[in-house]
Amino acid sequence: MWVRGGSWVIDSGPAPGFTGKAGAYHSRGGFIAERSFRQSDRIRVNERIRAREIRVIDEEGGQLGVMQPFEAMKLARERGLDLVEISPTADPPVCKITDYGKYLYQANKKAHEQRKSSRGSQLKEVKFRPATAEHDYQVRKNQIIRFLGEGHKVRAMIFHRGREMAHQEVGRAKMNRLLMEIGDQGQIETMPRMEGNVLVALLAPKKGVAVAKPTGQPASSAQQSQ
């Protein structure tokens, strides 16, 4: 039993293009049956396309013009492919002649990578003092390098207390040194500025640049304040 045009049809053999896996029908010059992919419920393909006219592009992205869906399906079937609605809100809707299984796989993969990227990127904070000792400075600098290498943004912060506010140039000199020494590993997204008693700079990973591994003691041993 297989689906055609929204109706159940009894047939003695398997549906055209049936792969043998539940919910994994594949059309070659035919139609697409219901699939188990969630995203497929939102994508119209072949006979499920309801628009009177559609704008059609081929597998290479070439424009084939505006036509009725049955004309585009005929072209798709001649090429052993499917007609997939890729932009339903356009006027007229845009459909692509392509392999539906391949299109759905790539769409799911892209969505997964976007979700993974949004989950993975975080804003980290690393704190210094104007009087932070050299050893602790190196540990925290390496911590920033590691965070940048993992794709995170970093908020570098130098806290001033009491009389340190009267000598802000000390903290600014330490910040300038930090930005210079991590220049190859990150980029400055927000230049250093005072926010109350804290000198703050926002750093971001450099796109397309391999980040060097930090040297010295592991960042896990760093103390967040002195």
3-state per-residue secondary structure call for 1-39: CEEECCEEECCCCCCCCECCCCCCECCCCCCCCCCCCCH
For 27, list phi and psi in degrees, rounded to 5.
-105, 130
* Secondary structure element (H or E) that encloses residue 173, with its range: helix 168-181
pLDDT of res. 161: 92
Contact between residue 150 and residue 117 where contact means Cβ atoms under 8 Å apart: no
pLDDT at 72: 92
The pLDDT value recorded for residue 81 is 93
Distance CA 141, CA 189 (A): 17
pLDDT of residue 56: 94
- pLDDT score for 118: 59
User: pLDDT at position 119, please?
Assistant: 58
CA–CA gap between residue 17 and residue 37 (Å, rounded): 17
State residue 42's pLDDT score: 77
Query: Are the beta carbons of 218 and 140 closer than 8 angstroms?
Result: no
Of the candidates 16, 20, 30, which has an alpha carbon nearest to the alpha carbon of residue 80? 30
Q: Are strands 153-159 and 123-128 parallel, antiparallel or unpaired?
A: parallel
Q: Which residues in the chain show pLDDT less than 70? A: 1-41, 116-121, 208-226
| Alpha carbons 110 and 117: distance in angstroms, whole number | 11
- Residue 209 CB contacts under 8 Å (≥ 6 apart), including other chains: 184, 185
The pLDDT assigned to 36 comes to 40
pTM: 0.43
